[in-house]
Structure formats: C-alpha cells, structure tokens
Amino acid sequence: MKTYNIALLAGDGTGKEVTDEAVKVLKAVGEKYSYDFNFEPELIGGCAYDEYRTPLPDKTLEIAKKSDAVLLGAVGDWKYDTLPAEVRPERALLGIRKELNLFANLRPASVYPELTSLSPLKEEFVSGTDIMIVRELTGDVYFGTPKGIEIKNGEKFGFNNMCYFESEIRRICHVAFSVAMQRSKKLCSVDKANVLDVSRLWREIVTEVSKEYPEVELSHMYVDNAAMQIIRNPKQFDVILTGNIFGDILSDEASMLSGSLGLLPSASLSDTKLAMYEPIHGSAPDLKGKDTVNPIATILSAAMMLKYSFNMDKEHDLIVAAVRKALKDGYRTQDIMQTGMNIVGCSKMGNIIKDNVLTL
Ligand code: IPM
Ligand code: MG
C-alpha cells in the first residue's frame, strides 16, 4: 500500500474543524482505493505564536518540506490583531508560501447548479460559470522591497514595491497556459499596463510565452475592467492569469459568484512536487467550536491535492461527485442554507460527503 505523508496545518479559528472533515474524506478515499494517507499535524499561525512566539516555527516548515503535500486550514484571530506585523498569523501564510516556493495559486470559482440562487447576482448571469484564477503567489507588492514606513519631508511615508522579474512572470505563465490547455484553451491575462511599468513587462512576457501555446486564445484586460466584467458577464472567462495582489482581490470577488466563500478551494504549486492546499476563506474565529462552518472548501482542497499532487484524477472526481450529491440531496451548512433544505453542521456535512465517497 502506498503511503502519502500529508503535513496537516489546521491553524486557527475554525481551521481544525474544516481540516478534520477533509481528513475524514481523504481517509475514506484511502480505504476505498487502498492508499495510506498519513497525517502529520503541526502548528501554524496564532496557535504557533502562543506556543513558540513565532507564527511559523522551523519545525512546521521542516515537516511541510518533508511531506508529499500540505493541507492547511486557516490562520488568524482577532486576538492577534495587536501583535507586531512580523509575528501576526498572516505572516505565516506569506512565509510558508515563500519558503516552499509556492508561486502558482490555482483558485477555481465554479457555480454549482444546486446553488445558483445563492449568488447575490442574478442566476441567469452566474449559472454555468466555471473560472480558474491562476494567481502568482510569491512576488509582486506582497514581497517587493524596499518597503516600510519612514519619515520623509517631516511626515510619515509608507511604501511598498510592486515588482516582478521576467523569470517570475514566465514560470507562472507556463502554469496558466498548461492549465488552459487542459480546459477550454482560453486565457485572459489581467494587469494594469496602461499605468504600471511592471504590468507592461507582465504583458510583454505573457505575449511572448503565449507563442509556445498557439492553441490557447489569449486576451489581456486591465484589472479595473476585469473587476467589472467578472460581475457583468462572468461566463466570458475561463482561465484568468494575474499577479499576486490583483489575484487576491479578484479571487474574493469571484467567490461571490458561487454564493459562499465556504465553497472555494485552492492549490498552491511550486516547481518541485511539493504543493499546499487550503480553502480560500479565512479562519472565521466567530464560528469556532460551534460546528457550523462549511467544510466543503477544505474538502475540495483535499480533492485538488489528489489531482495535482498525487495524479489521482478519478479520486478527485469522486470527492467532487460526493460533494455534489450531498448538495443534491438537500444538505446545507448555514452559509448556504436555502428554504426547504436540511441544515447540517460541519461534522455532519463531512460525514455525509465521506459516506458518499464510500458508496458512490
Ligand atoms: C488570501 C489571503 C492572504 C493573502 C492573506 C491572509 C495574507 O487574503 O490567501 O487570499 O492576501 O494572500
Ligand atoms: Mg485574499
């Protein structure tokens, strides 16, 4: 029986609740197909700070680096809001992305037919939407230097640097074009090339790399227009390729097409085998311990792990089908509750999906 070692970084808030359910579902897949998924829990975020005075302990990084894949819940809690920036839980997320070189963040935003009425947008606009946002994750203004807050001309001056090396742009392009080749061969690159030099370079490199993928239809869009078009006509998009900060913003926006942040998974890939999988939602500390949070985003992140890290396409599809069946059968967590449906908690939802995995 093949063993897969998974670093399990539940993090803060409801991170443990949602990763527990994903673990259940992965174990069911293991049982069904005879894989041994071995989980190694470690601390990350605020809980790590409480224990070790750092949100990203070396030990956590070591376990993550040695693993076959990382499953992360979420980090952050209001109680850490007053900590200095360098030890805030969010720093752990940026730190682990950088340390593991997870430069390619895939954020699918698809709308489930069972849930189209949940979107705040009109059903006719969102139904059938299936977007894959490919967000560069280890560069841009998030990591650029110089940065800081200084005194200049007698007043405070805050600054960050939006910058990309062409090699950083090129490698994310190859990921995005490869993803596009496996989907409908349509890619829209989002930038702000009418204003920013860094975006002009972005556009130049994207155009250059596109020549290696002649089958992919490439378009370019300014980010302000893209933000509008995602709401106006989301179905025009298939793969969206963009930088770190634009991708951060647009992926939260796109999540609303599906109706709930609690549904959307993500994969962060490197150029080695190692990758990390996490829901795009945060730690929802207000819901902690209430067993009401939606585990679907994390369960679907585990499904992405099977596909992208372990080449288990069939098993990935099985988890997606198990989630779809739970929705079709009328089970809903509170964030996606609709009249006439059955409200269930986090662990019940996980159990239903796990049972579907075993029986489908
Ligand atoms: C995300 C989050 C993070 C980001 C924060 C928590 C650092 O918003 O994963 O989208 O900005 O990348
Ligand atoms: Mg974000």
pLDDT in tens, 47-100: 999 999 999 999 999 999 999 999 999 999 999 999 998 999 999 999 999 999
Collapsing DSSP states into helix, strand and coil, what is residue 213?
A: coil
Rounded mean pLDDT, 237-261:
94
* pTM, to two decimals: 0.94
Check residue 118 and give its pLDDT.
87
Would you state the pLDDT for residue 259?
84
Minimal-distance CA residue to ligand 1 atom 7: 90
Pairing of strands 69-74, 275-279: parallel
Please choose from 87, 94, 248 the residue to mutate so as to test ligand 1's pocket, defined by most ligand atoms within 8 A of CB.
Answer: 248
In terms of Cα–Cα distance, which of 178, 184, 168 is closest to 217?
Answer: 184
- Centre of ligand 1 from the C-alpha of residue 304, in Å: 19
Report whether 94 contacts 87 (CB < 8 A): no
Question: Does any ligand 1 atom lie closer than 6 A to the CB of residue 136?
Answer: no
Q: Residue 231: pLDDT above 90? A: yes
Please tell me if the CB atom of residue 90 comes closer than 6 angstroms to any atom of ligand 1. Answer: yes
Percent of the chain's residues with pLDDT above 70: 100
What share of the chain in percent tops pLDDT 90? Answer: 94
The dihedral sign for the CA sequence 101, 212, 179, 254: positive
Tell whether ligand 1 has an atom less than 6 A from the beta carbon of residue 190. no
- H-helix segments, 143-288: 166-182, 197-210, 223-232, 244-258
Q: pLDDT at position 260, please?
A: 87
pLDDT at position 149 over 90: yes
Ligand nearest to the CA of 252: 2
What's the confidence (pLDDT) of residue 237?
98
**For residue 145, pLDDT beyond 90:** yes
- Reported as a pLDDT band with limits 50, 70 and 90, residue 43 is very high
Is 50 catalytic? The answer is: no
For the CA of 137, the nearest atom of ligand 1:
12
1-108+259-360 fold: Isopropylmalate Dehydrogenase (3.40.718)
317-337, pLDDT tens digit by residue? Answer: 999 999 999 999 999 999 999
φ and ψ of 168, to 5 deg: -65, -40
Confidence of residue 32 (pLDDT cuts 50, 70, 90): very high
Instruction: Give the tens place of pLDDT for each residue, 250-289.
Output: 999 999 998 888 999 999 999 998 999 999 999 999 999 9
Nearest C-alpha to atom 4 of ligand 1 is from which residue?
Answer: 248
First to last CA, the chain: 22
| In the predicted structure, residue 1 carries a pLDDT above the cut 90 | no
What is the DSSP track for 247-283? Answer: HHHHHHHHHHHHS-GGG-EEEEE-SSS-EEEEESS--
More confident residue, 1 or 292: 292
CA distance 344 to 333: 5
Secondary structure class of 179 (helix, strand, coil):
helix
C-alpha to C-alpha distance for 195 and 13, rounded to whole angstroms:
39
Specify whether 213 is catalytic: no
* Contacts of residue 199, Cβ cutoff 8 Å, sequence gap at least 6: 191, 192, 193, 243
What pLDDT sits at residue 313?
A: 96
